[in-house]
Structures are given as structure tokens and as C-alpha cells.
Chain A
């Protein structure tokens, strides 16, 4: 009886997984042949972070609800810059005013997954803060910080307008990051992805947030390496 039930469950699981939409969360350009090591600059980090459930964070971190959004996002931006610098020691940065003036566009990863972001103009190379032209630019479009988020709900256009009530849980800290590796020489996107990283919640402190940001940087680097087209 026991193993019959197991077989039935497995069959149902197989059927369900067969029917569900298989998301493709990354997209590589055919010209993405090698992951960047140097000559890379980062853009958009200072405006990318968004805190979801800020009241909960305010309570847990002991910060006033009025200033939680600005304080935490500013801190996270600084941390992400630092973490990326650990992984790409010669990382430069693109001045945020150069990115701000660009229009927001959408980029398709999958039939249902579209990321929104700002992309440099075609035919115009971006300069970093010291006036040099970096070969690659890592454009961080958006980082959502929250608890128990799932990226489908934010990036699948068929689901983003869902207004069904969901039970707010807090088992994990979640960060969803969307970013693009930009070829600054030929002004094209080489690699784009939406990543989701999680960290179990024990007792939330700024240290946990810092670890989560570190995980984001690790995940970005891992995906950039894996996204190379053979």
C-alpha cells in the first residue's frame, strides 16, 4: 500500500512539473564568449535596492519606519559595491547621473519573463567616473529585499498583476536581483538574469542583510561565469 501511494504521488508530481511553465531566468547573447575579469564597471547599484515589508524590517532592525527604506537601501548599495569589488578587484563605477537620463526599457528573457531597466544608447560608449571607457558594464537594474519572495510574482507578466491575498511568512530573507552584463564596446547586452537568493531567518540583524548581499554578489559572479556561450 505504501509504495503504491508513493508511485501515485510521484506520477502526480511528474505530471504537475510537466505542465508547469519552465522559466528561463537567464539569457546570453551569442557573442558572450568569455566572462569578464577586469575592465568591468558597475552601474545602477545606488538606485537598485527596494525594501519590501519595510515595517517588519524596521521592527526587527530597530530602525524608525520613516527612515528604514533610505537607510537600509543606502547601506545595501554600499555593501554590494564592496562585495563586487572583492570579486572584481579593478571594478570601476559608472556615475549614476549618466544612467538616470536613459529611458527605461524592457528586455525579454523568456516568453513570460521581462526585466525592466535602463540600457545605454546604441552607438555611444559609457565612461566610468574617472573618464575611461570600460569594456564591460554590470548594470544592476533592481534588487528586491524581503521575506519569502518568489521571483515569478515579480517578473512573470502573467502573474505580476495578481491581487490574491497571500499569507506573509518570514522563514527566509529573500533577495531578487535583475542585472545585465553590457558590452560597452559594441553596446549590446551580453548576459541578463534574474536571480533569487535566500537566507534562513534566525534573528534578523544588519549582519544577516550583509550576508545576503554577499550571497547576491557571489550568485552574480557564478551566473556570469556559467552564462558564457560555448
Chain B
């Protein structure tokens, strides 16, 4: 019960400490100047003690300098506004209702230059507070704290209610001048040409994610019997393993940060899916195909300068490619003469033509070192540019006439601009 009461008192204490009417974000400077504007002489704020309270409640505030804003306390325009402010501030106030209208008052606020003015005024057992900076002619934050005869406790309340926020370092005059003359990096000119070379590792498979298994099952599960027999031969994946890693080398570039081209070479090794139960393979040592591909794609991208050291360029690519499958086969050393089936084994086309399409993104660090992630779909088919012969129907089907896979790859790149 006692604990509960203690917790209750704690919360009551918290809620009494201060009530903020509104809080538009303002910048609290490290080692800043806090000017105490107090036209209500019934309350005194000791700048030295108040500064110590600030340091107690905000570790990041550095060495603030507090002083009484005497010149405003003597000026009739600011005295009028201060009086007006003290009886117009209430919990329903919004900043626009408390705006200073007198041109001389507005000019005073604009001339503050990184200093923070803390207006204080006593009313009905409370101390009303409003903070001003040079950016606006209305208070940035306003509220009340409970009046307290103990001055230090009152300063602590003021510090914890209105100054408890992260601070920023003030720039020196020279730093400011330099910053003002620097071009805004978001408006920097796009280089005429951005080129890259890279090396990538990837993985490809016939099954495209989120598509039904039965589109691929017959190709993937198929085995090769007697060196050439499969159920179907429209896809190369009936003969060779589809899911294999690959290595790629590529070079490309974009003009004006938008349109570009990329030349890519990709190599992978695929095992032939020989049927283990088939005795005709007893003579065979190994049978693989090396897949070499050369492609050229159009590259459409947009660069986002996220940080000065990081540019992100998402892109889409669309291109064509030539695929060559180079056979690597050998019989066991002890076999003197390979079988008839071996001699008449399946032959792939010399070259397959296909298309590739996909998306990706380049992450370029420090303008030169890139990481590239991409995913896409590529196809291999027979040469569609050959004229159809009159007896096309009688011709045997081209092996691997429609071989499609999808891929993902991760590349490391070097970039340069011209």
C-alpha cells in the first residue's frame, strides 16, 4: 500500500512539475546563450543558479551562458508584448495566437542570432514560460511550471520541462560562411557518365518463386537414359541440373544517371542428370556441361544521394544473351571403346539465344566502391531469326528450345565517373 502511494505521489509530482501548452521543435545549442526575459519583478531568476540547473538536467548542454535580458526589460515595445504575453498564455494557446505583431518586436526577435530567450512571468501559483529564437516571431515552446519558494527547485523544474532535449553544436562564423557557400549536395550535377566493372556470384534455378511446382516438375525430375532419352526435350533442364551457382564478370555504365548499358559474362557448371539405374552409364567417368553466356542489357536507373558517402541506384535491366554449352565428358580409363549409345549421345545446339530481364540496386560507397544486388529471369531458345523451312513440321524439335531460369546475384564493383 505504501509503495502504491509512493508511486502515486511520484506521478502526481511529475504531472505538477510542468505543463507544456505546445512544443514546436527548436534547436537547443550546446554552450548556448540563454537570455532570461523577466518583466514581472515579483519573480527573480538567478542566471548563475539557473545555468547550474541546466547542466544538472541536460548533460549535453555543455557550458551555457545565462544572463538577464536587461535591454528588453527596459524597452517599452518589448514590455508591452511581455505583458500581453503573460495574460494571453493559457493551455489552449497555439503559437499563432501568441505571435508578436509590433514590427519593432519582430525585429528584436529576428536579431537574436542563435540565442534563446526564456520569457518568465508569475501567475496564480504558476510560472509561465515561453521560449523564443530568431526563426519565428512566436514562441517555440510555452507552458507553466508550478511556482516554488525554493528557487533551486523552481530552476530545476524549468530546466527539466523546457530544456530537456538533445543539443547541437553552434557553428562558428567561419564555418557558417563556408557552409553557406557550399553547394547543396541534393542539387549536385549528375555526372555525364558513370561506369563500373564488377565481379559477381549468383545462384540460378529453373523454378521461379511464387509459381506452381507443376510448371517445372516434369523438367526437373526428368532423367537421361541411354545418353539421349528423356520424356521431353524442349528444356535443357530435362538433361542437366538447373539449380547451380554461377560466376559473372561485367562492365557497364550509365549516361546522365538514367540510361545505360551493361555487358555481362556468366559461367556455370551443370551436371547431366544420368539415371543411376541405367547400366549403360557404367563406362562413364563424368559428363557435365559448362554454360557460358554473354549478354548485353539496357540499364535504366535513378540515383538517390542518401548520404555524402552513399548513393543508391535502383535499376531495371532488359537485354539479350547468347548461351554456349560446352560438353565435358570422359569414360573411365579402363574402358577401351565407348558404347554405341555414348557415340550417339544427345547434342545441344551450338548456340542458344535468349532474353534477360530483372531489377536490382547498386549501393555505391565513397563514390567508387559498389555492392550490387540483382534478380531476374533469363531465357534460352533456338534462333528465331532462321527462316522456317517448308517442311518444318517434319524437322526434329530443337533440344532446349525453351530453357528458362531465374537468378539472384551479389556483385562487388568499382565505379568511376567521367
User: Which residues of A come within 8 Å of B, CB atoms?
Assistant: 29-31, 103, 105, 119, 121-124, 186-188
Contact = CB atoms under 8 A, between A and B. Distances in A.
A30 B226 CA distance: 92
Contacts of A122: 80-81, 84, 100-102, 105
Interface residues of B, number: 15
B148 interface: no
Contact of B102 (A121, A186, A188): A121
B103 interface: yes
A188 B102 CA distance: 13
Contact of A186 (B88, B103, B105): B88
Contacts of A121: 80, 101-102
Nearest to B79: A123
Q: Name A's interface SS.
A: loop
B187 interface: no
Nearest to B94: A30
A105 B100 CA distance: 12
B83 interface: yes
Contacts of A187: 84, 88
B79 A30 contact: no
B386 interface: no
B92 A123 contact: no
A29 B80 contact: no
Interface in B81-113: 81-84, 87-88, 92, 97, 100-103, 105
B365 to A, nearest CB: 45
Contacts of B88: 186-188
B93 to A, nearest CB: 9
A153 to B, nearest CB: 27
Nearest to B87: A186
Q: Which 3 residue pairs of A and B lie closest in terms of their CB atoms, listed nearest first?
A: A123-B80, A123-B84, A122-B84
A185 B79 CA distance: 16
Interface string B50-75: 00000000000000000000000000
Nearest to A29: B97
Nearest to A187: B84
A186 B88 CA distance: 7
A29 B150 CA distance: 37
B117 to A, nearest CB: 16
A218 B79 CA distance: 39
B187 to A, nearest CB: 30
Interface in B277-335: none
Contacts of A30: 92, 97
26 contacts: A29-B97, A30-B92, A30-B97, A31-B92, A103-B103, A105-B101, A119-B101, A121-B80, A121-B101, A122-B80, A122-B81, A122-B84, A122-B101, A122-B102, A122-B105, A123-B79, A123-B82, A123-B83, A123-B84, A124-B80, A186-B84, A186-B87, A186-B88, A187-B84, A188-B88, A188-B97
